[in-house]
Every structure is written in structure tokens, then in C-alpha cells.
Structure 1
Amino acid sequence: MVPAEAGEPGRKQRALARRKAFSMFVKAKEVPAASRCPGSGEGVRWRCCRQAFEELPGIHRHVALHHAGDLGRQDGLEARQERLGARPAQPGGSPGQPSGHAGGSPELSWALPDTSHISHEDLTSKVGEVLLYYCYCEVKDPEKLCAWQKALCQHLHLTGKIRVASEGINGTVGGSKVATSLYIEVMLSQPLFKNILCQEDFKSSAGGANCFPDLRVGVFKEIVPMGIDPKIVSYKETGIHLSPQEFHKEVEQYLSQASQGQSDTILLDCRNFYESKIGQFQGCLAPDIRKFSYFPSYIDENLEVFKDKRVLMYCTGGIRCERGSAYLRSKAVCREVYQLKGGIHKYLEEFPDGFYRGKLFVFDDRYAICSNEDIISACRYCGALWDQYKLCSSQHCRQLVLTCPSCCNKGLTACCSVCQEKELKVTSKASGQTLKEECECTKRRPRVPIERVSQRMLDTGKD
């Protein structure tokens, strides 16, 4: 049994170490005085998890609530390094390097997790989940990060898509629950991400490695393709993040006011038309765009719609709102711009039967996941309620089509009459030409629709 007088110094040392780790973590989130300007929020002194804090109690509460696990890992790492005689790493930096921006982004660790104690069956089980996450941060060597991600995913038998850029990383991966848990653990301990990413940044849903045909990891200019140089429109100029609870209250208030014709708010869906077609927030403005890269043009063509408005933005997991809100803010027409932190994914975790109705479109072989029983879309051919997408039956068309089982049995399986009649048979294989999305509905759809806020939109919010 350890005498009380012998144990007391140990407890004091641990308490001191925890306070030191907490203080260092908060210090690492401090915005340098030279970087504080009205454009990034006047008075902002700390930034963490893409949120801004002006008062010390605010950042303290945030760290205590959301980063207790990170502090524990940091405390344990420092203890291990102290036993080994190594100098502890500062938050946000490599060993012996001070925190802050002066030293650049932290060095990347090439470490892969030890899986020798895990059976092959547990690592490759078909019963698993799909993870969706992103992290905006400075990446000094995207090629190196890309190579490490590919090695890590192969090591854990994960499939999916990962985009790496100098502005950060965006990933959707599927695998067994053991593999995805290890993946999260490794990502949270990676020096490049450990003080930025947290557990809640990973959105999960039922699935597995079978949800993707393969693993694709690549280096790109943007981690989400908006088509504008990140140096021109930066994620650092994003809108104000709202938690699912805060967003829910805002939508509730918006729908109440809109039903009385008194709202000065626009609930903006930042996704593509085929996503919003099968699921959306009640009373939203859903642009009829086919790609997110059309979003800036959509904003440019519809500035009057957003003039002097409060805008509530949302997307699948939050990433498109990061730079989408930054672009909207750069136009200086809105009164305020807010965005749903964690996207629809996080909202549905807390409000499965809330104001979002229908299915959530996902970019893998599942096409959609659901949290409520509502069907808000219809079969393309007969108009019956239907919301399960399939690829157009034409061999070289990648359009998605909503066609119910009855119509499928009649052979109506294409996205439009051109595809249905001609089936786009290839006649140019020898020349190396490809036919991609060359169908009637693609040509007919305007690239940038002109939106008008109408009673039709507001009516969708009524019972």
C-alpha cells in the first residue's frame, strides 16, 4: 500500500501536468495579434474547430467539453517522452518546435497502427460503417500526406475516396468497425491534425468497404471542387457555425415567420439538385445546379435574392458550406451568413424526425441513407412516390434516375427518352473517344438557374 505522503506528490504532479496541457492547448488556439482584423471577426482571440472565441471562459468551456480526450493523449504522450528523456512536443508543432504559425504546419508522421493483435476477419468484416470527415489546415507536403493516407487505408483494408490538397483533407472511407475505429484513432493522434480534428468531426453511418468499388486517394487543388483558387476564396473567411441544436431553433423560427410572410431569412441548400430532390429541409431554397462548381455562378446570378438577408446554409457533412459561405460573404450582400456545423449528418443524429425530411444522398454505392419515413420525390415516369436512385441503363450515361419497380418492369430504366431509345451504343472505341453524360436531360438543364424567392418555396414549410 502506498503511504499518503508518497502518493500526494504524484497526484499534484498529475494535476499540474493536466493544467499545463490545458493551458498549452488553449495557447495553441490563440489568433496572433497581427492576424486579428474585422474581416476575420473583430475581437476574435482564439479559433478552434472552426469556431471563433472572444472571451477566455468561452474557449475554456469549449476545450473542456470537446477536447478532454485530446488533452489526455497529450498528457500521456508527454509522460512517455519524459520517461524516455525526450523533449515534449508543443501543441501544433513538432518536438522542440514552438507552437504557432511561424514554424509552419507540423511534420507528418508516417506511423501505421499495430494490427498484429487483430484478426484478419475483424479487419475485413463486411459489417461495418462509412466515415465522412474533412479537415481544413495547412499541408506543407500534400504528396507525402497522400502517400501516407493510401498506405494507412490499405493497411486497414479501407475503401473510399480521399482528396488531399495544400488546404487540408476530405475523406469518405468504408470498412469494418474495428478498422474505422483505428483509422479515427490514428487521425486524431497525427501531429498534422491532432489539435484541429476531434471525434465529433467524423460522421458515421452503417455500411462498410463494400460501399465503394475501390480506394482512390489523390492530390488536388481543392479538397472540395468549387472551381475557385483557395487563395482567392479561403475557408478562413467562412460563415458562423451553428450546432445542430442552434440550427434547429433557427429553422423553427424561420418557418414560423415565413408562414406569416415576415421572414428576412433564406434557408439555403448548398448541394446539387439530385441530392435535394430526395431530401431537404422544409422551406429551403434548393438551387437547380448539377455540380458544386456551379455554385459561385449561381450566387453571382442571384445576388438580389440574398440582398440584406440572413442566410442559413447547409450541406451533407459541412464541407461545401465552408467555402460556399466564404464565397457568399465575399459578395458583401447578406446581412449575416450561418452554416450547419457537421452538416445534415450531424443534424439527423440529434433530430432524426426534425425539419429535414426524406433521404440523405451519399456519394457511394448506397446512394442514400434515411432517418425518417418521408418520401418527397417521385418516379420519373409515372409520378408515384419513389426516392431510390439507380444509374441510367444506358451504358455510357452516368445520370441518376428515379424509376419505380413497376416502371422498371416495363423497361423504363433510363434518365431520358434519348437514352431510352438509343442506349448510346459506342461506335468510337477505336478512336479512344468517350461519351459521358451526353443525353437530353443534361443538355436541357440550365447550368445556372435564375432563382426567385417565391411563395412556392415558403409553402413547403407549412403543415
Structure 2
Amino acid sequence: MTMLSFYAFPPSTVSDVEKFAFNLRKIWKPFQALGRVYVATEGVNAQMSVPTSVLSHFMECCRSVPELGRYMENDINIDSKPLSQEEFAVAGTPHNGQPAPPFRNLHVRVRNQVVADGLGTSLDWQSAGYDMPPLEWHERLMQAREQTLEQKEKVDGDNEAINIDGKDLPILLDCRNNYETDVGIFEGAEALGTESFRDSWDVLKERLADTPKDSPIMAYCTGGIRCVKVGAYLTLEMGFTNVSRLAGGIIAYDRALTEKKEGEESMFKGTNFVFDGRLGRQITEDDLGSCATCGSETSLVTNCRNQSCHKRMIQCETCRTNYQGSCSTAC
């Protein structure tokens, strides 16, 4: 099985959302596709898995859909590690103590938005800054690392860093939520510290209040869709003129580095939280998170099995076993 994701923001809105959702279910069923797909007038947001043997045909099918086709920015994000049927069956977070797959069924659901943003009005998602290819992103972060090291070596008597070649270091923003950034983050990135994506706008306004409008800003998220909205907000609402976002997000970065720069150090450290039953995909061996129960180092994200709680948390394997998948003795 191959895990994949994609999104699309067509310039003209989807007119009949219910019909569109029905048609997607119909054309995807023969592929034995599984996953969670949100459809709205603004577009599509899909997290899916398909048998690897039919992957190319599935992709051709998606590209033939007018509302998707060329509007699928960065095409389809494919996880760099296919799973056998046996691996897929146990790749998800255990359910009621039993192994579970990342997806059990295919759900295509109609929503008001494909990513709930909390903004009063929709923006022009086509005006979202520069979609920076993953390998260019990698090189830019490597350059930023070198610049930072040089600046540290050349501080003046007042301990103020000297700019190298007159270039400003980019402001690198992680546009994901706390439970995501706690287990994985790009080197040098600033986490927004949000509990929900809806909180992003106030945080951005406060963080960038005194930032020159031509400052280089680089934003990223899991698969790229949230950064479309962040990029549009920074450009259209806040007036920034040098906004870049990671094309395809962390998923595309990991794939590009794996396929084209084998052996190269990843600038993303830890685990990439993903929105399926796995709840995480390890990129490097770094355990950046801390178990909410015992405090030990871990990158395992889970949900409390008590359905009245269902708290999302970081919890080590030992505590998950000892607490039977719950967050506390009370649950």
C-alpha cells in the first residue's frame, strides 16, 4: 500500500459539492482506495492509501478530474516508503488494544472548508507566495545554517551579529500545531505554538509586527495545504513581498531527499506527524518529544482511548501499555 495526499484550490469554486463528492467516491472505489477526503466549494483535501500496484492508474484518474487535474499543486504527495499489506494492517495506532491500519474505509465528506481556518472571508489562494521546490528549500536551509555559524564566529565587541554578504537570514515558520512541532521540526524553525490552525493569524500578526515587509519568510507544514492559506494571508493581509512555502510540505521534502540526495543529512529532525492512523512518520532517529505521563523521550503521538476524553498526546510505549492506551488513571 502507498500512503499519499493531495490538495487542490481551483480558481473557480466547486459548484455542486455533493455531486462532486459522490463522483469521487464512484471513480475511486475500483482502486480499493482508502482514506479521508474533505470536499468544499474552495477545493479538496485528501489523505489516502491505495494499493501500490494500481498507484499510477489512480494518479492518472485523479489528474483527469477537471476540479483536480492541474489544480493539484505539486501533483500527488507520495510517501517514500510503501507498505506491504501486512505492514499496513498494523501501521496505525492500536484500537482497543488491537493492531489497526492507517485507514479502514474511504470517507469523502463535504465540509464548509477543506482546512478550517477561522478567517471571516476567504482569500485568493492563488496568491500565496513562491512555492519553493524541496531541494531548493534544502539548499536554502543549508545556506542559512552556514550563515548562522559564520555570524556566531564574527560577533563584534557589543555581541551583535554581523550580516554575511548583506543577506538577511530567512524567518523560518513552522505552521503546524504544538502536538506536531513537539515531535519534529526543521532546524532553525520557529513554531507558532498553536493548539489549532485557527489560532495562526493572531500569532503571525504579533510575531511579525515589526518585521520589514521585504524580509524573507519561509513557511512549511505537513503536506503544503495549510501554508497555501498562511502564504496568502502573509501576502494579501499583511503585505509581505518575499514569502516562500515548502512545495508539498515535509512529506515531499523527505521523498525528494530520499530519492535524489541519498545519504544527505535531513534538515528536518524527528517525526513528521501525519493525519492518518499512523499519527507519525519517523524521518530521523531524533526523539524530540517528551512523554506526557512519565517525561521520557519519545516521538509517539496517540489519542486517549477513553472516547469521552480522546486527548491527543505524546506518550511512550511503556506508558501506553501500563495505562492501557489512556492518558491517566482517571481515564
TM-score normalised over the length of structure 2 = 0.79
> Out of 411, 419, 422, which is 2:323 matched to?
411
1:380 to 292, 317, 323: 292
Moved more, 206-215 or 321-330: 206-215
Which has the higher Rg, Structure 1 or Structure 2?
1
Aligned-partner residue type, residue 315 of structure 2: T
Distance in structure 2 (CA, Å) of the matches to 1:421 and 1:398: 14
> Matched residue of 2:298: which SS?
coil
Q: CA offsets, 1:268-319, max 9 Å, x none?
A: 0111111111111011011111211221232233332644432100111111
1:145 corresponding residue in structure 2: 20
Closer, same or farther: CA 370–173 of 1 in aligned 2, 3 Å: same
Measure the CA separation in 2 of the matches of 1:333 and 1:269: 19
User: CA, structure 1 residues 333+150, in 2 after alignment: closer, same or farther (shift >3 Å)?
Assistant: same
Aligned: 1:344 with 2:217: no
Say which structure, 1 or 2, has more relative contact order (CA 8 Å, 6+ apart): 2
Superposed CA deviations along residues 209-259 of structure 1, whole A, max 9, x for unmatched, are 831133221222322211225x54120221111111211122122223334
The Cα of 1:414 is off from its aligned counterpart by 4.4
Provide the secondary structure at the position in 2 that maps to 1:228.
coil
Matched residue SS, 1:236: coil
**Structure 1 unaligned residues grouped into runs of 5+:** 1-127, 424-463
User: In the TM superposition, what are the counterparts of 1:12-411 in structure 2 within 5 Å?
Assistant: 128-137=1-10, 138=12, 139-197=14-72, 201-205=75-79, 206-207=82-83, 210-228=101-119, 232-259=122-149, 260=151, 261=161, 262=163, 263-304=168-209, 306-308=211-213, 309-332=215-238, 334-352=240-258, 353-408=265-320, 410-411=322-323
Distance, in Å, in 2 between the alignment partners of 1:287 and 1:412 is 32
The CA deviation at 1:183 is: 2.0
Q: C-alpha deviations, 1:321-379, integer Å up to 9, x for none?
A: 11111111223353511111111111111225321111111111111112322222222
2:313 aligns to what SS in structure 1? strand
Counterpart CA distance in 2 for 1:370 and 1:288 is 21
Instruction: Report the CA distance shift for 1:152/1:337 in structure 2 as closer, same or farther (over 3 A).
Output: same
How large is the Cα RMSD of the aligned pairs? 2.4
After TM superposition, the score normalised by the length of structure 1 is 0.58
Aligned amino acid, residue 247 of structure 2: K
- The alignment covers a number of residue pairs equal to 290
SS in 2 for 1:237: coil
Distance 2:182 2:209 in 1: 24
Aligned partner letter, 2:255: E
Relative distance call for 1:195 and 1:336 in structure 2 (3 A) is closer
Separation of aligned partners in 1, 2:246 and 2:267? 13
Query: Are the counterparts in 1 of residues 222 and 249 from structure 2 also a CA contact under 8 Å?
Result: yes
| Paired amino acid for 1:324 | V
Distance 2:302 2:78 in 1: 23
Take 1:291 and 1:373, find their aligned partners in 2: how far apart are those partners? Answer: 27
One of 408, 422, 427 as aligned partner of 2:330: 422
Q: Structure 1 residues 385 and 237, CA, compared in 2 at 3 Å: closer, same or farther?
A: same
**1:301 aligns to what SS in structure 2?**
helix
**Of Structure 1 and Structure 2, which has the larger fraction of its residues in strand?**
2
Tell me which moved more, 233-242 or 325-334. 325-334
Using a 3 Å threshold, how does the CA distance of structure 1 residues 147 and 264 change in structure 2: closer, same or farther? same
CA contact (8 A) 1:381 1:412 kept: no
Structure with the higher fraction of residues in helix conformation? 1
The alpha-carbon distance between structure 1 residues 265 and 421, as it changes in their structure 2 partners (threshold 3 A), is same
Percent of paired sites with the same residue? 28
The equivalent of 2:155 in structure 1 is none
1:253 and 1:152 mapped to 2: Cα distance?
45
CA contact (8 A) 1:134 1:169 kept: yes
Change (3 A) 1:395 1:182: same
